[in-house]
Amino acid sequence: MSGNDIWQELLSGNKRFAEGNPTHPNQSIARRQEMAKGQNPRAAVLACADSRVSPEIVFDQGLGDLFVVRVAGNVVNDPILGSLEYAVEHLGTRLIVVLGHQRCGAVAAACAGGEAPGHIGSLVQALAPAVDKISASEEGRVDWVAKENVRMMAKSLRSCGPILEKWVRQGKLEVAGAFYDLDTGAVEIVE
């Protein structure tokens, strides 16, 4: 399947979830036993660590369907990039989805500015480029910044060499941006 075909399947799964009709695929004992032998997830999802945004549930997927990497603010750093490269290079993943969401706490902290305690400052710093692109007076700024961050992270992943950029250039990997609405459960495409 192409990355675009896989993306359409995920969007169909999200539609089932948002409408309250999930099928909960690939969650049987047989699937668990099959996945114990190895994995070949069709898609990887870089998602926020927010407990309200579980990609397997949001996209109505099951065991072994998604390779999920989560970090507050869905930002890319070297360990995150290495995880995604592993999924593509060694597991055969053909789609990476960067999934931001409504009312993201990490983005809200970055928009608030000032000093963030401890290592939270590294998240705020990673989100600063997206914050800088959206006017402080913009109504709904946190959500606009979250969407801009999705765009920026997806663009960055498409050009990250040596592995992801090569697979994208060869047409073997798609990178998509998405935004999850906490109120409706729907995912919208972010270009």
Q: Residue 82 has what pLDDT?
A: 98
Q: Residue 182 has what pLDDT?
A: 98
Q: Residue 5 has what pLDDT?
A: 97
Identify the CATH number of the domain in which residue 102 sits.
3.40.1050.10
Compute the distance between CA of residue 126 and CA of residue 122 in angstroms, rounded to an integer. 6
Q: Which residues of the chain register pLDDT less than 70?
A: none
pLDDT digits (tens, 9 = 90+) for 107-151: 999 999 989 999 999 999 999 999 999 999 989 999 999 999 999
Q: How many domains does the chain have?
A: 1
**Domain housing 47:** 3-190
Compute the distance between CA of residue 92 and CA of residue 74 in angstroms, rounded to an integer. 22
Q: Residue 138 has what pLDDT?
A: 87
In our burial notation (b when 16+ CB lie closer than 10 A, e otherwise), range 151-190 reads bbbbebbbebeebbeebbeeeebbbbbbbbeeeebbbeeb
Q: Residue 101 has what pLDDT?
A: 98
